[in-house]
């Protein structure tokens, strides 16, 4: 299943990655359908089958084929923009399967979602609540709302992907959430259905999740003592993956998933629970396939220059993130250096000071864990067209699920 060496050449399922490069060029994202299905099945078994509602956070990867696949396992979708809303509509998600999160929503975005009648909004500020109330009043609608609470819990992850600390821009203080819920009558077009928290991303330890459960148990007990009744608690996403060993099964990386549901359902038993996983469903399902343009030495620094770049995978530049590097053709010798792209920024590095397989011009260099926050964070900086995505189906077909952007398409915007 997934990615493995066959006769010293890296395959995705039964397809040699060299065949993908030959057919679609490089850089190209290559997805394994069997890994996507495995991940979806794990989330279904752990959460959906136990009555927890799952909304896939499409920011991690918004490819329609992936969305359709996850939907077929019973997942709804968590959106954060009008573009993601349009994509959800395009796929055919019903209104009741969509929730709208995000720290700032425009008038137009709220109106679009209200008109469609989406399941609920995760509201992050008082100004957003007031705007939603006024838009709902004008449209003669009622909006279901989960208030996003910032619990000030340290997720023990990279500072750029921590979202549940007081100093982060996300959510509202417990005092404000309590105030709004006890003044619900001031918002006649809002149904205050619950509370939402998302403390961060790439969380590998279970403790921050348990801290969140305990926090919410106390917070909701306090609300009950004030006669505030809510029905829903959304615990967000954040489950981490193993970037060091990208081909590991997600249940090995996050063995606490099942225990987490048990504890959440026990301690928060009065509530309908929701989660919004993103990364854990897609990160290990894809690699970024690149061609080596050449190698060079500056002083005592060795560089492998590839045709892929931070425009395809910005995580190393943005978060210092680690992505494992492989040679398509297994190599016996290695050399320490950086893997860099052609983009005109010193930060355009995909790996730094790594023990790398010894690469030569025209080799295929494979960057692992490129399924989450890779293609969806892609850009056209330096007028580099967006790279294509290929799904290796279980039947061994190379299915183009996003074509390479053409130069004409890029230039036609101007």
Ligand X SMILES: Cc1ncc(COP(=O)(O)O)c(C=O)c1O
Q: Which residues are marked as active site?
A: 344
Residue 71 or 279: the one with the smaller Cβ distance to ligand X is: 279
SS3 9: strand
Q: Which residue's structure tokens are 């099942």? A: 258
State which of positions 363-402 bind ligand X (CB under 6 A).
none
We find the least distance from the C-beta atom of residue 283 to ligand X, in angstroms, to be 8
Which of 238, 246, 316, 341 is close enough to bind ligand X by CB under 6 A? 238
We find the least distance from the C-beta atom of residue 276 to ligand X, in angstroms, to be 4
Q: For residue 227, how many other CB atoms are within 10 A of its CB?
A: 7
Asked if 276 is part of the footprint of ligand X (rule: CB under 6 A), the reply reads yes
Distances from the Cα of 16 to the Cα of 4, 71, 306, angstroms: 10, 29, 20
The tokens describing 152, both together, are 């000030």
335 CB-near residues (< 8 Å, 6+ apart): 302, 355, 356, 358
Asked if 279 is part of the footprint of ligand X (rule: CB under 6 A), the reply reads yes
We find the least distance from the C-beta atom of residue 404 to ligand X, in angstroms, to be 26
We find the least distance from the C-beta atom of residue 19 to ligand X, in angstroms, to be 31
What is the maximal distance between C-alpha atoms in the chain? 70
Asked if 354 is part of the footprint of ligand X (rule: CB under 6 A), the reply reads no
Cα–chain-centroid distance for residue 102?
13
| Site size for ligand X (CB under 6 A) | 16
Which of 2, 76, 246, 278 is close enough to bind ligand X by CB under 6 A? 278
Residue 62 or 163: the one with the smaller Cβ distance to ligand X is: 163
Residue 60 or 289: the one with the smaller Cβ distance to ligand X is: 60
Q: How far apart are CA 76 and CA 274, in angstroms?
A: 10
Question: C-alpha angle 408/379/95, rounded to 5°?
Answer: 95
List, edge to edge, every strand of the sheet that includes 15-16.
3-6, 9-12, 15-16
Q: How far apart are CA 399 and CA 198, in angstroms?
A: 34
We find the least distance from the C-beta atom of residue 236 to ligand X, in angstroms, to be 5
Q: What is the DSSP letter of 172?
A: B
State which of positions 50-89 bind ligand X (CB under 6 A).
57, 60, 78
Q: How far apart are CA 77 and CA 92, in angstroms?
A: 11
Which of 27, 164, 236, 378 is close enough to bind ligand X by CB under 6 A? 236
Host H or E run for residue 264: helix 257-267
Asked if 164 is part of the footprint of ligand X (rule: CB under 6 A), the reply reads no
- Contact string (CB under 6 A) for ligand X, positions 85-124, x = contact: ----------------x-----------------------
Residue 279 or 384: the one with the smaller Cβ distance to ligand X is: 279
Distances from the Cα of 367 to the Cα of 246, 286, 303, 307, angstroms: 10, 9, 15, 12
Give the interface segment with ligand X, choosing from 6-14, 40-48, 270-278, 323-331 (CB under 6 A): 270-278
Give the interface segment with ligand X, choosing from 177-185, 275-283, 309-317, 356-364 (CB under 6 A): 275-283
Asked if 36 is part of the footprint of ligand X (rule: CB under 6 A), the reply reads no
Nearest to 305 by CA among 27, 3, 9, 22: 27
We find the least distance from the C-beta atom of residue 105 to ligand X, in angstroms, to be 13
Asked if 201 is part of the footprint of ligand X (rule: CB under 6 A), the reply reads yes
The tokens describing 186, both together, are 């001031």
We find the least distance from the C-beta atom of residue 93 to ligand X, in angstroms, to be 16
Give the interface segment with ligand X, choosing from 66-74, 273-281, 293-301, 356-364 (CB under 6 A): 273-281
Which of 27, 237, 308, 341 is close enough to bind ligand X by CB under 6 A? 237
- Helix axis angle for 207-225 and 257-267, nearest 10°, is 10
Asked if 208 is part of the footprint of ligand X (rule: CB under 6 A), the reply reads no
CA atoms within 13 A on the CB side of 141: 20
The residue ranges that bind ligand X (CB under 6 A) are 57, 60, 78, 101, 163, 198, 201, 236-239, 276-280
């Amino acid at each position: 299943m997934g990615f493995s060496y066959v006769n010293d050449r890296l395959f995705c399922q039964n397809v040699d990655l060299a065949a993908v490069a030959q057919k679609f060029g490089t850089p190209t994202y290559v997805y394994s359908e069997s890994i996507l299905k495995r991940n979806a099945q794990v989330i279904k078994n752990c959460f959906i089958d136990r009555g927890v509602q799952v909304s896939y956070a499409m920011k991690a990867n918004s490819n329609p084929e992936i969305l359709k696949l996850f939907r077929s396992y019973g997942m709804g979708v968590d959106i954060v923009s009008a573009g993601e809303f349009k994509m959800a509509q395009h796929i055919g998600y019903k209104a009741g399967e969509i929730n709208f999160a995000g720290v700032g929503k425009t008038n137009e975005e709220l109106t679009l979602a209200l008109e469609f009648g989406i399941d609920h909004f995760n509201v992050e500020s008082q100004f957003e609540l007031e705007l939603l109330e006024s838009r709902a009043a004008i449209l003669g609608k009622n909006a279901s709302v989960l208030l996003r609470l910032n619990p000030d819990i340290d997720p023990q992850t990279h500072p750029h992907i921590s979202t549940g600390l007081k100093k982060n821009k996300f959510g509202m203080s417990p005092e404000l959430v309590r105030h709004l819920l006890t003044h619900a009558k001031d918002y006649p077009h809002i149904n205050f259905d619950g509370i939402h928290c998302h403390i961060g991303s790439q969380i590998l330890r279970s403790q921050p999740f348990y801290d969140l459960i305990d926090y919410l148990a106390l917070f909701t007990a306090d609300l009950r003592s004030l006669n505030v009744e809510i029905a829903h608690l959304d615990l967000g996403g954040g489950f981490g993956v193993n970037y060091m060993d990208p081909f590991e099964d997600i249940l090995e990386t996050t063995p606490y998933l099942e225990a987490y549901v048990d504890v959440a359902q026990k301690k928060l038993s009065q509530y309908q629970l929701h989660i919004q996983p993103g990364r854990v469903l897609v990160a290990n399902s894809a690699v970024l396939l690149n061609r080596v343009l050449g190698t060079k030495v500056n002083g005592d620094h060795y560089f492998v220059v590839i045709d892929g770049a931070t425009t395809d995978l910005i995580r190393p530049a943005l978060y210092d993130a680690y992505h494992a590097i492989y040679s398509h053709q297994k190599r016996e010798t290695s050399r320490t250096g950086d893997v860099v792209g052609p983009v005109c920024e010193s930060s355009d590095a995909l790996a730094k000071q790594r023990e790398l397989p010894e690469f030569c011009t025209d080799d295929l260099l494979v960057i692992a864990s490129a399924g989450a926050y890779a293609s969806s964070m892609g850009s056209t900086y330096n007028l580099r067209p967006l790279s294509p995505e290929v799904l290796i189906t279980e039947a061994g077909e190379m299915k183009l699920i996003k074509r390479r952007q053409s130069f004409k398409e890029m230039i036609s915007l101007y």
